[in-house]
Amino acid sequence: MSDIIQLLPDHVANQIAAGEVVQRPASVVKELLENAIDAGATSIKLLLKDAGKTLIQVIDDGKGMSTTDARLCFERHATSKIRKAEDLFNIHTKGFRGEALASIAAIAHVELKTKQEDEELGTQIKIEGSKVSSQEVVSTSKGTSIAVKNLFFNIPARRNFLKSDSIETRHVVDEFQRVALTHPDISFLLHHNNNEVYNLRKSNLRQRIVSIFGSKMNERLVPINEQTDIITVAGFVVKPEFAKKKRGEQFFFVNNRFIKSSYLNHAVVNAFEGLLDHSSHPSYFLYLEVPPNTIDINIHPTKTEIKFDNEKALYAILRATVKHSLGQYNVAPVLDFERDANLDTPYNYSKKDTPSVPPITVDPNFNPFKSENNFQSTPNTTTSSSSGSSNSSNYSSGNNYQTNYKKDAGSWEALYTDSSFESDSNTDSDSDLDINSDISPVSNFTSFESTHQEQLFESAQETETGKTFQIQKKYLLSSIKSGVVLIHQSLAHQRVLYEEFLENITVKEASSQQLLFPVTISFSSSDIEMIYSIKSDLESAGFMFDEFTKESVVIGGIPTSITESQITLILEQLLDDIKLEVPDASFSHFDVMAKSFAKSLAIKTGTILSLKEQENLVNNLFSCKEPSTSPFGKPTFKTLSLQEIDSIFNK
């Protein structure tokens, strides 16, 4: 029987290794930026075309490479970072395995230019699919420039799995931000399709965060600083009132390396206990320094997961540090939630003598219940002067009663006295009616109150005669011939809005309403770039843009189906959905826009619906093309037949 095991050719082995190291253009960006940092660069430029699918070029001013090193760096497991196995537990650099450039060269066209400072000329190498096509001496500046073109040109299946340009750009920007946040002492420049996205100058950490995420971030940051024997924690957390519904701006760095750790994230969230809603997530930029021999960073190909020796101690320290900073900077709540800080005694006056208490004077003759209303005496005087002797005694007794009544009732009687009643009392013939008739201020008010209550009860009875009922402000129960149907009001409304938006965007010509005053909304530079990339699709949906800047966008018109107050909510939801890869690579942004609009504008759980609103929602749902599921695949209703209901009680 012949042997069946054989060694793979180098180019095949490189392609297999590339599958672990290079998953998308962002993976190439990460490796090249880290190599530039390890080379001691003080200025790094990143140039992209078509989200990195056509070109990824990194230019640095580091120490460069010799001719031999330039050729050897594309070999597998060729590295200058480690020499022996023990070095794996004392790593201070970004890369160390020597697989990045070899994997990249196996699946792309690579052009390398490099020169050391003490050399007059540099070296240029061109590689296509692990094969060196040319090597020559060139004149170039100090440092290294490496261009990766036509990524996955020899693996079309992998290229087809790439997402749309906007999504791939988002991943590239994420990697760029992670590297830039780690090294504020290095200037970074990012260009995409000849458009400048970031131009980050050398600065401190706070300025670097503000430069990336916008000027409004400066007032939201709470500094963190704690030093112990086993860990040093520094950085910033964002104030609780600026927490987000999505997990976005959450960054952990361990020894200047970005990591992902759900365990440490839980420690930070726990420190915000009592300050956040259950659906909100805190933002933070935390930098941890630990001894290199207490961590293992070689457990994942992308090196974003780290194993700690003493996780429980790190958890306790991190939680206590964040909680202490929130309390130190008056972010954590105090026991007296109604306390006004403006009424606190200033520190400079806390030890001064209390001034003498001013005297209090009281007017003993003041009576707050005494009323002086002229209208009480005027009718009586006029009537008594014109009445006859035969009615004088009768009127006198009535007048005494009326006087006592007004004395007891006070001035509130005028609020309920009918104007016709008061005017009739000025005549002689109606003087007795003023006392003896059944019409009185109290009876008038009572009859009005009872009538009003009857109207309220009648309207309540009318609402109970409908065919739909709202349950716990979340579900609608409607009666059908075969039983009942239980409808999730929020998911059902999402389906209705989704089909309406999709039809308005694609089938009908979307109508816009011009804003009287244009609205300016602030975003980060990467979000502005993403909005600009889908600008034409948004305009097809009814948006009108007046101006784009690096940190804001000016909107002059919006679709007629939304209001001005919903613009920010809709755009933020749209950006989150694009970042989370809601659309498929073959979908246009119309679909994801319709889904985002529907999710943003749909009625939420806890909203009280009137009987008419309930019936409209039920009718609109079952008029949809696909009423059974929401735009995100969740069921919108459940039908219970009479047999199923009977079986519940007949067990």
635 shares a domain with 515: yes
232 shares a domain with 153: no
CATH number at residue 71: 3.30.565.10
**For residue 365, is it within any domain?**
no
pLDDT over 90 percentage in the chain: 26
**For residue 358, is it within any domain?**
no
**For residue 615, is it within any domain?**
yes
Instruction: Show the tokens assigned to 74.
Output: 């594309």
HEC secondary structure over 435-468: HHCCCCHHHHHHHHHHHHHHHHHHHHHHHCCCCE
Bridge partners (DSSP) of residue 393 are none
* Residue-wise pLDDT tens digits, 163-214: 888 788 888 999 999 999 999 999 999 999 988 889 999 999 999 999 998 8
pLDDT at site 336: 47
Residue-by-residue DSSP string for 391-418? THHHHHHHHHHHHHHHHHHGGGHHHH--
167 shares a domain with 259: no
Q: Which residues span the domain enclosing 227?
A: 206-328
195 shares a domain with 235: no
**For residue 288, is it within any domain?**
yes
Please report where in the chains the tokens 């003993």 appear, as a residue.
364
* Residue-wise pLDDT tens digits, 68-117: 889 888 887 777 666 556 555 556 666 555 678 888 888 899 999 999 99
147 shares a domain with 216: no
Strands 258-259 and 221-227: unpaired
25 shares a domain with 170: yes
The arithmetic mean of pLDDT across residues 535-544, rounded, is 83
CA distance linking residue 287 with residue 69, whole number of Å = 33
pLDDT at site 631: 87
Please identify, among 328, 354, 387, the residue that sits at the C-terminal boundary of a domain: 328
Please identify, among 182, 200, 218, the residue that sits at the C-terminal boundary of a domain: 200
The confidence band for 488, taking pLDDT boundaries of 50, 70 and 90, is very high
**For residue 222, is it within any domain?**
yes
CA distance linking residue 508 with residue 516, whole number of Å = 25
169 shares a domain with 54: yes
16 shares a domain with 62: yes
**For residue 220, is it within any domain?**
yes
CATH number at residue 250: 3.30.230.10
HEC secondary structure over 16-76: HHHHHHCCCHHHHHHHHHHHHHHCCCCEEEEEEEHHHCCEEEEEECCCCCCHHHHHHCCCC
Sort residue 581 into left (φ over 0), alpha (ψ -120 to 50) or beta.
left
For the chain, the maximum distance between any two Cα atoms, rounded to a whole number of angstroms, is: 145
517 shares a domain with 445: no
630 shares a domain with 613: yes
Please identify, among 290, 307, 328, the residue that sits at the C-terminal boundary of a domain: 328
The arithmetic mean of pLDDT across residues 444-473, rounded, is 55
The confidence band for 495, taking pLDDT boundaries of 50, 70 and 90, is very high
571 shares a domain with 540: yes
**For residue 413, is it within any domain?**
no
175 shares a domain with 283: no
Residue 308 reports pLDDT greater than 80: yes
Highest mean pLDDT among 395-404, 592-601, 605-614: 605-614
For the chain, what is the domain count?
Answer: 4
* Residue-wise pLDDT tens digits, 624-650: 988 999 988 889 999 988 888 888 888
E strand map for 421-551: 468-471, 475-480, 483-488, 512-522, 544-548
Q: Which of 433, 467, 420 shows the shortest CA–CA distance to 611?
A: 467
Highest mean pLDDT among 323-327, 404-408, 410-414: 323-327
Global model pTM greater than 0.85: no
**For residue 382, is it within any domain?**
no
